[in-house]
Structure 1
Amino acid sequence: MPAVIPCCPRPASSRLRPLLRLSLMLGLSASPLFITASWAEDSARRNYQVPAGSLSDALTRFAGLSGVNLSVDPALVGSRTSSGLSGEFAVEEGFARLLQGSGLQLQPVGEQAYILTPAPEGSSLQLAPTSILGATGGADGEVYAGGQVARRGSQGLLGSKDFMETPFSMTTYTGEAVKNLQARTLGDLIASDPSVRATNPAGGRYEQFTIRGLSLFNSDVAYNGLYGVLPTYTIDMEMADRVDIIKGPSQLINGISPRGSVGGGINVVPKRATDKPITSFTGSYASDSQVGGAVDVGRRFGEDNKFGIRFNGVKQSGDTEWDHQSVDREMAVLGLDFRGERLRLSTDIGRTERDTDAPQERVQVGANAKVPNANDVRDNYAQPWSKASTNDTFGAVNGEFDVSDSVMLYGGVGARKSNHDFLRHAVAVTNDAGDFSVQPRDFTRDENVRTATAGVRNWFHTGPVSHEVNLAASYFYMDFENGGARYAAARSNLYDPVETPTPVRPTRLDSKVYTENRFSGVALSDTLGFFDDRLLLTLGARWQRVKVEDWTDDVKGATAYDEEKVSPSGGILFKATDKLSLYANYMEGLSQGKIAPSTSVNEDEIFPPFISRQVEVGAKYDAGAFAVTAAVFRIKQPAYETNATTRVFGPNGKRENTGVELSVFGEPLDGFRLLGGVMYIDSELSDTTNGTFDGNRAPATPKYNVNLGAEWDVPTIQGLTLTSRGLYSSSQYLDQSNNKEIDSWERFDVGARYAFKVDEKNITLRANVENVADKRYWSSAGASDDSEPGLTLATPRTYLLSATVDF
């Protein structure tokens, strides 16, 4: 019997190659399996869960699970990758699936034994019919059991990784989850994640979130790894194939974000044409009377389907559940891609338009007013004449080139041009009766973004240690101009809104404020693999430069800055077993300084950059049918506030978020799926002015967030699935003094979907009811590091209906 030599997932060094050429034997005891020409038909089918990744690792795991011996020349496998397996397979068809497109084939050499050889020129692997339990999720690999979460997610500098090989906390939601939730915007989707919360009204001018209690703006949501390309205010989900959510500062892997988010990062992965033609139409309805339609068309062309085209278009308009509020949105995104043997290219071009009448604002609470009773807010307090109009045109080009089996070049460029026009008014209650002043403001904002990244990734060995070295450079430029006018004020009331006259004649013209942001950086990392990559150590650092300049009425501001810093980061992951991974990381990063909000007397003042630091340890358990992840973390950064008396915005002390996360996803029982988790945060202030607020809880940070969603396939009615979801957040303080507080809240959603066929057309009907109890509550007190604090009113009971026809 040949010597047993551990499998090596990447090219061996020249020093070890002669020894490794002898053989690689993989074997575990199992029921007898005989390799014959009819073996695929005769052998039993089993459920396998093999992560996407290096081809060597995939073959190693599958051979062990299936109980066969496999001899492999590591030089033959090289750095090839496999999309993995998720489903029921006979052994031979499982190997064929893993080897598809690799140019390699199996050759039987005895009972339960194989060797791997090059496939004859011009031959192709023929797959037997399979029963797939999980579908392939986009370009980056398989969907986890249950179909709601993908195994692999994009990690910028570090590439695409399986969640079990990632020393970070991350979740990747699939396009299937987006469709089944009937998520129209990113805010609809993140409701599934306990670490993420929306901090703006769903019917507002823009969306904003918190991750681990810290703000994340839409500007900080990446598009295929590029910041600033997606629309600034609202991101339509019909364009997304996957959505990656990484928890904690991610400057090493993604670079500095435009607004300096540090609680985590979100990356939207665009849709690509699949080998199977796509022609889909979805008709939708949302209460009160929003009606729309969406088309999704994808095709591949040319030899080996090298060229792909994918188009997604949406049109939806009508009234929402709030009186005199309506939303009209349009989206068109075209994706083109080329996949050659060594070269892969893609480009995406998109246009979105959104018009909202009477968008709601956060509710600010004056020093002399108590927290309003949300249950008594039954009407839309936004004036009928208020509006928000946003128009975004964007595009990106990405590419990868395999210089060799061990060296890859990659890069991307993106751009966006946006025009925004708002006629709005703040809502700041001044007394317990809920009175507030309606101060109309015409606000315009024009943005231009250009961004680029380029890098090289190299796989090699030094003795028994594997390396994956990444070197990348990034550049981000954005300029924007704000302008507008103010109008005469009138009075209204939160509980009994008064319709005020439509603004006509300005009482004051605002100054034109022009700002330029330039962020650049260079990052280097090395992931070292020990003990056949059971221990992975990632070390890296990113040099970052932040340059901000601003002009007010063509006069250069005094708060511009140009600063730079080297931010080290690192992570370690130990694969204790095939099912259990333990990890720890340290990350820090430089963030752009805060900008004083319009509600402060020092509006538009720019503050210097600041540094955030995180330490995290965690564990991930993959049972095949379901997975459980746990993390303990601590994040430190400066705290900011708008002084309640002086109305001056600025830094005041430090804040430390110490927390625990627990999440679960998958299909623990056949036909029963779970998605959710819990997050606990202890958020404490320190070093505040004169120690006034030291020891207080940071505002707008609940101690507990809990989410749990469940799906059940009704066994007696084929194609029928019942769904439910519960969300909970504990109480939150409004300010650093901890004198004002909003109550805890819970929300329950229910739904159903029914899939069937008519004349060979697949049809899926979906019905969801959000906030089924129609509870009125304050869902957020803003964000503790946010420049515009205020209360977010929950959306009333909303009905969502859709019908999808796949032609």
Structure 2
Amino acid sequence: MLGVWGPHASADAGALPEVQVRTPAEFPGDLPGPYPGGQVARGAYLGVLGKTDVMDAPFSVTSFTGSTIQNSQSRSISEVIGHLDPSVREEYGDGTSLDTLMIRGFTVENDEMSLNGLPGILGQFRVSPEFVERAEVLKGPSALINGMSPDGAVGGAVNLISKRAGDVPLTSLTMGSASHSLFGFNADIARRFGMDNVFGMRVNAGARQGDMQRDYMTDRSRNLSIGMDFNSERLRASLDVIRQTQRLYGAGGAVDFSRVGGPVPVAPDGQRNFAQPWYFQDAQDTALMGRVEWDMSEHLTVFGAIGQSRDASSALVADEPFVDASGRFAYSGMPIRWRQRTISSQWGLKGQFDTGPVRHHWSLTASDLRRTSTADFHVAGLSGGAGLSNIYDMVLISPPGNAVEPVGPLAWSSRNSLPGYALADTLSFAEGQLLVTLGMRHQRVKSDSATGFALLDMATAHYDQSVNSPMVAIVFKPTQQISLYANHVEGLSMGETAPYGTTNQGVVFAPYRTRQFETGVKFDAGRFGGTLSVFQITKPYATIDPSTLTFGVFGQQRHRGLEINLFGELTKGMRLLGGATFMDAEVRDPMNAAGLTLRPVGVARRQLALQGEWDVSELQGFTLTARATHSGDVYADATNLAKVSGWTVYDLGARYVTRLGTTPLTLRAMVKNVADERYWKQGRYAATLGMPRTLALSSTFEF
């Protein structure tokens, strides 16, 4: 990729002098500082719990720093997280037109990420990393923490902290390239103004354009972000404007193996593309967010945040085609026009008080998320655009003349509203040695929707339901180096809709609860730390009764797992980041005639991600990087007949921090998938072909 570009180009390399920039954070106070090694932060912003040290957090949480994001040379935030967190995998990603993550085996859509604690206002298809200072990954259901996201985020949540201007002026320019011929640049400028530097502004602007390493695939992306803030003794405010555009040609690479009935076809060369060269997606995402916080007294603060996003996409694409055992599939082109508007808000009070020897840190929050979506499907565009092909021998056809501009009647629309209220209190005993957090969220879910295609039967659905979601969490620190924690938390997800062809098609089910039990131990040896945790997440399982063709919630999906996360410096100049996740996931479906307990689609028994860095002492400022990402075997169908083999990808890189005259300069190089592994990444809905060996280069100048 053509990198994420910020002020920390030399934050963890060698002993050369560097510019340190202090970045005022979203509230309260400054961002948690980096842990030794600079790859992760010491804490994260946990919504109603506020800024929380990792050792005090009753969850498994990892906060990737700006330098880690930048040095990964990734095209998206999902790519960064998917290669560095062992509990996270990309369901879609590079080589396709959108990003989707799986956290603890559950799908987390791209627009479920939060921006500075506010959910639902980031891009639907891809989130570029240029404006991101921190990427915080919280494991487990998180409805109480930040409010309910659009789809519930069962397995976890991602919160992105935007960049802010530091006290030291910054002007930085990054230029980069990636094979085949993808080039880009990004400018990052930050200044503070006024008495005591109370006003700040940071601007990131960049572009990327060229051919990717996959056949027929080109990328033309633009990004602009403006982050402004005011930071006085009692009043803090910020405003973010983020604009992203992306036009992809040949966007595809996802296929459906659910009907193979046995082992899936061996993955071909990752350079192959299953999409026609004339497939395209043109997406625009604009987000505007403001936040304010005022200390009414030493122990009471009032805060509020509101944001709006407008997302639009015009595309000529195809649904994931079904592939048979020999690799054959039928494809088609369908024009689509899609629009979405989201308004998200949070308001509340927080503070602290003492009852005898017990200190209380409490918060009372009201939140709402309103979203309207529409889409047009030009079904007539299928004529002349269908054909037969094979994943090993792609057949190219001319674009259909009537499928260029997506026009037609309204095919689908929805209006959702997610108002809720949350109360949380963290009780601190024995000067913080024991922390007990109690919380409750009352969540209402209102939805009006019409489902179906223009030429098929339309179904209209409405529901208005509310539920309560509790949380109980405990942290006990027997020593300063050890922290034991446990939590029981419930999440909320939108009810599913009965699909076309069922006896109750269009019926929308009530929101359902997800439940997590988790316990673990964290250790901090000063320069090296980690987390060992075990968890269980359960959720209702919706399926179709094969005897009546009625869609309903008949079963249960349960994921049990063991996670190991490591970070920090093993010795001076040697850093480690990553870990392993082992999961026992199963679906209990009484509609299964054989009575078998099956594994959910796309969920591996084991996942590993490990990155090591070594500062070469003989060459000051020179760092070598090695990374391995592994995922075990998974199934592509609910009957567990179509098995997808596991994969391991290795990446090698280097960077060099030096000066060009008086100008600090950082050079980076990384070879991704150095062994040119051929593999499928199977998610909940489809499998995507892994990208081939790719060389990424970038250089950052700080003026």
TM-score greater than 0.5 by the shorter chain: yes
Residue aligning to 2:394: 497
Residue aligning to 2:111: 219
Distance 1:442-1:167 versus aligned 2 partners, 3 A rule: same
Once the two structures are TM-superposed, the CA of residue 748 in structure 1 deviates from its matched residue by 0.2
Does 2:587 align with 1:685?
Answer: yes
Q: Distance in 1 between matches of 2:207 and 2:121?
A: 21
Residue aligning to 2:166: 274
Distance 1:378-1:720 versus aligned 2 partners, 3 A rule: closer
Q: Distance in 2 between matches of 1:643 and 1:778?
A: 30
Residue aligning to 2:665: 763
Residue aligning to 2:287: 394
SS at match of 1:275: coil
Q: Distance in 1 between matches of 2:93 and 2:137?
A: 21
Q: Distance in 1 between matches of 2:278 and 2:546?
A: 30
Residue aligning to 1:441: 334
Contact 1:693–1:736 (CA under 8 A) maintained in structure 2:
no
Does 2:327 align with 1:431?
Answer: no
Residue aligning to 2:481: 579
Residue aligning to 1:753: 655
Give the aligned residue type for 1:492: S
SS at match of 1:359: coil
Distance 1:285-1:644 versus aligned 2 partners, 3 A rule: farther
Once the two structures are TM-superposed, the CA of residue 438 in structure 1 deviates from its matched residue by 1.6
Q: Distance in 2 between matches of 1:180 and 1:201?
A: 19
Does 2:702 align with 1:796?
Answer: no
Once the two structures are TM-superposed, the CA of residue 643 in structure 1 deviates from its matched residue by 8.8
Once the two structures are TM-superposed, the CA of residue 385 in structure 1 deviates from its matched residue by 1.0
Distance 1:679-1:803 versus aligned 2 partners, 3 A rule: same
Contact 2:23–2:164 (CA under 8 A) maintained in structure 1:
no
Residue aligning to 2:219: 327
SS at match of 2:268: helix
Does 2:534 align with 1:632?
Answer: yes
Distance 1:303-1:138 versus aligned 2 partners, 3 A rule: closer
Contact 2:261–2:641 (CA under 8 A) maintained in structure 1:
no
Contact 1:379–1:496 (CA under 8 A) maintained in structure 2:
no
Residue aligning to 1:181: 72
Q: 2:377 aligns with which of 463, 469, 484?
A: 484
SS at match of 1:661: strand
Residue aligning to 1:126: none
Per-residue Cα deviation, 1:777-802 (whole angstroms, up to 9, x for no partner): 012x212xxxxx11121111111100
Distance 1:648-1:299 versus aligned 2 partners, 3 A rule: farther
Q: Distance in 2 between matches of 1:490 and 1:454?
A: 53
The 5-angstrom pairing of residues 605-644 of structure 1 reads: 606-640=508-542
Distance 1:389-1:666 versus aligned 2 partners, 3 A rule: same
Per-residue Cα deviation, 1:412-464 (whole angstroms, up to 9, x for no partner): 00001111111111342453332211221111110111111011111110000
Does 2:426 align with 1:527?
Answer: yes
Give the aligned residue type for 1:548: S
Does 2:486 align with 1:589?
Answer: no
Residue aligning to 1:18: none
Does 2:248 align with 1:356?
Answer: yes
Once the two structures are TM-superposed, the CA of residue 759 in structure 1 deviates from its matched residue by 2.3
Once the two structures are TM-superposed, the CA of residue 589 in structure 1 deviates from its matched residue by 1.9
Give the aligned residue type for 2:313: H
Give the aligned residue type for 1:747: V
SS at match of 2:55: helix
SS at match of 2:130: helix
| Higher deviation after alignment, 158-167 or 685-694 | 685-694
Per-residue Cα deviation, 1:117-165 (whole angstroms, up to 9, x for no partner): xxxxxxxxxxxxxx99998565212100000101120101111111011
Q: Distance in 2 between matches of 1:137 and 1:597?
A: 48
Once the two structures are TM-superposed, the CA of residue 400 in structure 1 deviates from its matched residue by 1.1
Per-residue Cα deviation, 1:455-476 (whole angstroms, up to 9, x for no partner): 1111110000110111000011
Per-residue Cα deviation, 1:199-239 (whole angstroms, up to 9, x for no partner): 11412121001100001001110000111111111000011
Contact 1:361–1:426 (CA under 8 A) maintained in structure 2:
no
Contact 1:137–1:150 (CA under 8 A) maintained in structure 2:
no
Q: Distance in 1 between matches of 2:476 and 2:190?
A: 40
Once the two structures are TM-superposed, the CA of residue 365 in structure 1 deviates from its matched residue by 2.1
Residue aligning to 2:123: 231
Contact 1:134–1:146 (CA under 8 A) maintained in structure 2:
no
Residue aligning to 2:148: 256
Distance 1:143-1:200 versus aligned 2 partners, 3 A rule: same
Q: Distance in 1 between matches of 2:612 and 2:434?
A: 34
Residue aligning to 1:457: 350
Per-residue Cα deviation, 1:748-772 (whole angstroms, up to 9, x for no partner): 0000000001222100000011100
Equivalent pairs counted in the alignment come to 673
Residue aligning to 1:471: 364
SS at match of 1:375: coil
Residue aligning to 1:726: 628
Residue aligning to 1:514: 413
Larger RCO (CA within 8 A; separation ≥ 6): 2
Once the two structures are TM-superposed, the CA of residue 580 in structure 1 deviates from its matched residue by 0.6
Does 2:218 align with 1:340?
Answer: no
Once the two structures are TM-superposed, the CA of residue 352 in structure 1 deviates from its matched residue by 0.6
Contact 1:519–1:545 (CA under 8 A) maintained in structure 2:
yes
Contact 1:201–1:795 (CA under 8 A) maintained in structure 2:
no
Distance 1:530-1:258 versus aligned 2 partners, 3 A rule: same
Residue aligning to 2:33: 142
Once the two structures are TM-superposed, the CA of residue 377 in structure 1 deviates from its matched residue by 6.5
Give the aligned residue type for 1:388: Q
- Which of these two proteins has the greater Rg computed from alpha carbons? 1
Consecutive unaligned residues of structure 2, counting only runs of 5 or more, are 1-10, 26-30
Per-residue Cα deviation, 1:533-590 (whole angstroms, up to 9, x for no partner): 2100000100000001024679994432111011111100011101110000000022
Per-residue Cα deviation, 1:238-285 (whole angstroms, up to 9, x for no partner): 110001000000111111110221100000100000001110000010
SS at match of 1:431: coil
Contact 1:201–1:361 (CA under 8 A) maintained in structure 2:
no
Give the aligned residue type for 1:792: T
Does 2:678 align with 1:782?
Answer: no
The 5-angstrom pairing of residues 370-381 of structure 1 reads: 370=262, 371-375=264-268, 379-381=272-274
Residue aligning to 2:42: 151
| Higher deviation after alignment, 438-447 or 715-724 | 438-447
Q: Distance in 2 between matches of 1:429 and 1:447?
A: 29
Contact 1:137–1:174 (CA under 8 A) maintained in structure 2:
no
Once the two structures are TM-superposed, the CA of residue 691 in structure 1 deviates from its matched residue by 5.5
Q: Distance in 2 between matches of 1:409 and 1:261?
A: 27
Consecutive unaligned residues of structure 1, counting only runs of 5 or more, are 1-85, 88-130, 784-788
Once the two structures are TM-superposed, the CA of residue 595 in structure 1 deviates from its matched residue by 4.8
| Higher deviation after alignment, 274-283 or 431-440 | 431-440
Give the aligned residue type for 1:755: V
Identical aligned residues as a percent = 37
Once the two structures are TM-superposed, the CA of residue 183 in structure 1 deviates from its matched residue by 2.1
Does 2:436 align with 1:540?
Answer: no
Contact 1:535–1:574 (CA under 8 A) maintained in structure 2:
yes
Distance 1:219-1:645 versus aligned 2 partners, 3 A rule: farther
Distance 1:508-1:718 versus aligned 2 partners, 3 A rule: closer
Give the aligned residue type for 1:403: M
Give me the CA root mean square deviation.
2.6
Give the aligned residue type for 2:469: S
Q: Distance in 2 between matches of 1:721 and 1:493?
A: 43
Once the two structures are TM-superposed, the CA of residue 376 in structure 1 deviates from its matched residue by 5.8
SS at match of 1:415: strand
Per-residue Cα deviation, 1:491-531 (whole angstroms, up to 9, x for no partner): 22211111122022369956432210100100001100111
Distance 1:601-1:721 versus aligned 2 partners, 3 A rule: farther
Once the two structures are TM-superposed, the CA of residue 640 in structure 1 deviates from its matched residue by 4.0
Residue aligning to 2:301: 408
Give the aligned residue type for 2:280: K
Contact 1:192–1:675 (CA under 8 A) maintained in structure 2:
yes
TM-score (norm 2): 0.91
Q: Distance in 2 between matches of 1:581 and 1:308?
A: 37
Contact 2:131–2:162 (CA under 8 A) maintained in structure 1:
yes
